[in-house]
Every structure is written in structure tokens, then in C-alpha cells.
Amino acid sequence: MCGIVAGRTSGAVTGTLTEALARLEYRGYDSVGVAVAQGDGTLQVRRTTARVEALVDRLAADPVGGTTGVGHTRWATHGAVTEGNAHPHADCSGRLALVHNGIITNADALRAGLRERGHVVASDVDSEVVVHLVEEALGTGLAAAVEAAVEQLTGTWALAVLDALTGELVAASHGSPLVVAEGPEGVYLASDVAAVAPWIEDFRVLEDGHVVAVGDTTTWRHGGRAAEPPPLRRCTISVAELSRELYADFMSKEIDEQPLVAARVLESWGAPAQDGSLWHGSGLPDFARVAVLGCGTSLNAGRAVAGVLGRVAGVPTQAVVASEADDWVVEPDTLVLAFSQSGETADVLRALDRVEHRGAPVVAVTNSAWSALGRRADFVMSCHAGPEIGVAATKTYTAQVLTGTCLAIAACVGTGRLARSTGRAMVADLGRVPDLVAQSIGVAMQAVPTIAAATSEASGFLFLGRGIARSYADEGALKLKELSYLWAESHASGELKHGPLALVEPGTPVVAVDDGSSRMQASLAEVRARGGDVIDIGGPGSALPALGTTGGIPGIDWCGPLESVMAMQVLARQVAVLRGRDIDKPRNLAKSVTVE
């Protein structure tokens, strides 16, 4: 949801900015731009509504020197996708350039005031008002001017302002992520540490209210006063993790990484889950019920974990759509499991306000332990998926399901709902997941090209599942629609006859996570009777024989066929490839949705 970067480097900064922007592009790709301070106190700005590669080409044709600059990749919220609305935005004098991620909710009132005071506000975007507010306060120095400007804002922001006259950078954050990091070649600011990971070893995360000034030295302020810097954190992201290597797209690489990710999660959380020690060490109180909270894929992962809690230990559970949580009644003794790979999804953070108001304990199941969610939670379960760059979540989903399942086992053993021996048996079962996942990917790579070729011209798809497998079908449908731009509806198979069957006509593809039950077979017979094209994901003899029994690896009944999801990921990607879609950057989407 917009990515920002800034750098003050020993050599030319544009290459640094564009390289970092390429790694931030997952956050939005409606437009991209850079501004660089020139020795004479002016700015050079390059912006385009094309992608980062186009900006690189433009800079190659029309180079910009300078060692201090800011860059931005945009996911449009306010104002159309035009070059004029692209960041960076300059003040009236052309001395300051600003990049911003977030939403300024009082921008209209501020813009009107600025215009009355004679400012030329050139774009339609909310962000531009901030640079003019900084311009008005500049007499006090850049850091104080940024503080004065942000005091007038409502909404959320991570922003960086460049002063071309002094070469100083000042950044501030409130409700949007921002890190600052120093390496041998310079100092960097970025929305995501992955953007600058190759150049640094440690980083600091700005807390709400921090203002950091990067000049000859780096200084920190908070609440209008000098402040201690936040703690240094170790950056564990390797360059290989950020590279597509020989894969056609990041999504294929990330699909293939899932067996390894699954093994890593189980190595971290399996042992402390099975004996309940994870629960005892967490300091969390006993609970009467569990609510899983999240959006999109993360909510699907939460639903799978809720299904496990209900099935194995009879724990009452509720799945809360974080973007619709305003009327959520948080019942007493609820343990909240908040699922978010990024930990910065605004809808999730807003829903937490409600939870905190009721005093319910929150566990973050996240791939970003230092994120806003991680910092607000009472306990953090890191998902260990590594950086995921494709906008469509794949390996983070698998990691969330397994991490959440380990927590569920730990909670049930730790509170006496399950015997330790049961916990041990369940973790032993999970030990088969990496092989189940690998097998599913292998089978899908063989079978899917033919299935996709036969179905990619369909107008839409139905997905069916039962019990916990319904949440897997939901995830398959979400993957298909976001990648292929075809409609994809997911239903409990028993519901088919109560309405969705009307959608089935000759050739309608119906993907079923086939648990082999007679009820599922009855639903599939109803589809076949109307000429629907059943793509059953099941055991030997099915259209996509990706489930455990196929290769002799026993499936895991109590958590349902998680491995079915990998087959559906491969199917969604292949249909999208045949339809000529941008696999890693589906239209209209961004990976971290930091607006409500």
C-alpha cells in the first residue's frame, strides 16, 4: 500500500533508490518516482505511471546525479493514476520533496487552508498537503517543521521529506511502517527492511510519533524532544530470498518453497507445542473460547486453525472478518488469534482497538514480528516464511496455518484440554506436512497444465469443501480470482443444492477438495448431472490426485487436507498464465493493505 524509500549514500543514489523500489513494488504499482537533491540546492524529479523498469530506463536516458534522494511506489487511494499524482511531491519553492504511505484523512480541509494562504497544490492526492505544511514551518529547521506539520494531520503516515538545500532527510511515522538502517555505503529509510536488506545488517523500527533526521549524523525526536533511538534489530533476510532466481515469477518460487517453510515452522514450534511449554511460557491466561481475526488469505488460515480447535478439543470458536469487526461483541474469556502476514493490515489493527477495549489477550500469528500487530500483541507467533514478494499469498498462508495449529496444540495441552500424549501424536502427524505439500506440488505440476488449458476460457469457477476443507476451498477460490480475474465462488458442498447449483451449466469448472465422503460425492454427482466439469482434488483416480493417500503418505484427518491448497495455487497460477495475467502483481491489488 505504497512503498517509500530514502537514502543518503556515499555514491550516486538513484540506482539505490530504484533497486529498493523494485523490492517494494509489491506494496503498489500504480506509479513510481524519485527525487534527488542536486548540489545547487534544487531537486531533480522523475515520475512515471509505468513500472520501476520504465523509471530505470528513463533514468538511463536522462541521468540524475546526487547522493541523497527519496523514492515511492504508489497504490492509488486518492486521485487517479497519473504522473501528476505520482510521488514524490514538491513544495511551492521546489526545495522540498515528500514521499508518503498512508492516508491523510483531513487533507481536504488542509488543502483548502493552504490554497487560501497562497500555496499551489498541484495534485489530487492527500499526501501533497504535507509538503506544503512543512514548507510553512521550515524556518525552525526541517525536523521541527516536520513535527509541526504532522501535528496538524489526522490519519496514518510513514513519510520522508528531502531538503535539497541542506541535503537533509527527515522521516516520521504514525500507523504506517518505516525502518531506518545504516550500512557501509549510507543511511536508508524504507517501508520494509527487505528493500534495503542487501546493504545493511541491523535496522530500527520507528514507533508512532518518532521523527528521525538523517544528515551528517542521525538524530531522533519524539513528542517535540530529543529521544533515544528505538532498539536495533538484526536483519535476517538473505539476498537469495529476495531473488527470483530462475523462476518465471516469485509466486512459483514461493509455491516451491512451501515444503521447506513447513519444515522450518515445525522445527521452531513443534517441540514446545506438543508438551504445552509454549503455552506456559507465553504468560497467556486460560480461555473459554477463541476468536480468529484477519482478512483475505490470513482469515482463511485463521479459519483452518479455528476448525482444528473445534474438532480436536471442542473449543468454541468464531472467525471475525477484521474489515467488518465494528459490531463484534467480544465475549468474556476470549483468546484472540490475529492472523496477518504483514502485521500492518489496517483493518486488523482497527479491529484490535475493539479487542483491547475489552481487555482480551491477543496472539499475533504473523510473518513480521516487529510489525505494528507484533508490537501490540500480548504474544507473537512468528511464521518463519521468509520474505514473500508475490502479491498472492502462498507460503505465508501455509506458515500461518501450521504456526497457528502449533499454537492451538500448545494451548489445548497447556490448559489440560488435551493430554500431552495427544499433543505429541498431533505434532508427529504434522511432521508429514512437508512431504504432503511437496507431493501435492509435484502432482499439480504434472496434472494442472491440461486442466488449466481446458478451463481457462470459462467465465468462472466454483470451489467446494466440507468441514475444515471448506477453508481450504475458500483459499483456492481467492487465489483463482485474484490471479486470473475470473469470478470464483467457494461454498460448503452441502450448500450447493440450496442455490449455487444454478450457476452450473455444461463446462462450468467445479473444483472440489474431495474428502471422499458420501456427501461430497452426492454434491459432485449433482454437478456432473448438469454437465459441470468436476476437478476433484483427492486420492488416486481423481482429476488432481494431490492428497496424501496418492503417494502413500497418510493424510491428517484432524486438520484436513492442507496439501489441497498447493494444488489450487498451481491451478490458479496456470489459469492466470494462460490468460496473460501479471502473476506477481495482479491488477488493483497490493500486498500490504494499510488503509481501511
- Is 324 buried (19+), middle (13-18) or exposed (0-12) by CB count in 10 A? exposed
What residues between 323 and 362 interact with ligand M6R by CB under 6 A?
340-342, 345, 348
Scanning 196-204, 219-227, 291-299, 551-559 for contacts with ligand M6R by CB under 6 A, the matching segment is 291-299
468: how many CB neighbours lie within 10 A of its CB?
Answer: 24
Q: Closest approach of Cβ 475 to ligand M6R, in Å?
A: 9
**Choice between 392 and 511, CB closer to ligand M6R:** 392
- Is 505 buried (19+), middle (13-18) or exposed (0-12) by CB count in 10 A? exposed
Grid cell at residue 309: 480447535
CA 323, CA 325: separation in Å to the nearest integer?
6
Catalytic residue among 253, 479, 481, 591: 591
Q: Which of 64, 97, 134, 295 binds ligand M6R (CB under 6 A)?
A: 295
**Choice between 14 and 400, CB closer to ligand M6R:** 400
**Site for ligand M6R contains 123 (CB under 6 A):** no
**Site for ligand M6R contains 593 (CB under 6 A):** yes
Q: Closest approach of Cβ 157 to ligand M6R, in Å?
A: 19
Q: Closest approach of Cβ 528 to ligand M6R, in Å?
A: 30
**Site for ligand M6R contains 568 (CB under 6 A):** no
Q: Residue type for 572, please? A: A
What residues between 455 and 484 interact with ligand M6R by CB under 6 A?
482
Task: Give kind and range of the element (H or E) at residue 381.
Answer: strand 379-382
Q: Closest approach of Cβ 482 to ligand M6R, in Å?
A: 6
**Choice between 69 and 390, CB closer to ligand M6R:** 390
CA 579, CA 571: separation in Å to the nearest integer?
12
Q: Which of 18, 191, 297, 484 binds ligand M6R (CB under 6 A)?
A: 297
**Choice between 254 and 514, CB closer to ligand M6R:** 254
HSE at residue 518, side-chain half, CA atoms within 13 A, is: 0
* Beta strands across the sheet bearing 487-492: 487-492, 460-465, 509-513, 533-537
Q: Which of 298, 382, 508, 594 binds ligand M6R (CB under 6 A)?
A: 298
Catalytic residue list contains 2: yes
**Choice between 121 and 365, CB closer to ligand M6R:** 365
**Choice between 293 and 504, CB closer to ligand M6R:** 293
Helix (H, G, I), strand (E, B) or coil at 126: coil
**Choice between 51 and 585, CB closer to ligand M6R:** 585
Q: Residue type for 530, please? A: R
CB 131 within 8 A of CB 87: no
Grid cell at residue 263: 519444515
Q: Closest approach of Cβ 99 to ligand M6R, in Å?
A: 21
Which residue bears the cell 471475525?
320
Q: Closest approach of Cβ 304 to ligand M6R, in Å?
A: 13
Catalytic residue list contains 559: no
CA 493, CA 495: separation in Å to the nearest integer?
5
CA 124, CA 552: separation in Å to the nearest integer?
60
CA 6, CA 178: separation in Å to the nearest integer?
11
Q: Which residue is nearest to ligand M6R (CB)?
A: 296
Q: Closest approach of Cβ 484 to ligand M6R, in Å?
A: 13
CA 571, CA 164: separation in Å to the nearest integer?
50
From residue 388 to residue 407, what is the string marking binding to ligand M6R with x (rule CB under 6 A)?
---xxx--------------
CA 293, CA 319: separation in Å to the nearest integer?
6
The separation between CA 450 and the C-alpha centre of its own chain, rounded to angstroms, equals: 31
Catalytic residue among 2, 235, 383, 412: 2
- Interface size with ligand M6R, residues (CB under 6 A): 16
**CA-based nearest residue to 2, from 111, 115, 85:** 85
CB 519 within 8 A of CB 466: yes
CB 242 within 8 A of CB 199: no
**Choice between 485 and 558, CB closer to ligand M6R:** 485
Q: Closest approach of Cβ 478 to ligand M6R, in Å?
A: 6
User: Which residues are identified as catalytic?
Assistant: 2, 591
Which residues here bind ligand M6R, judged by CB under 6 A?
295-298, 340-342, 345, 348, 391-393, 482, 591-593
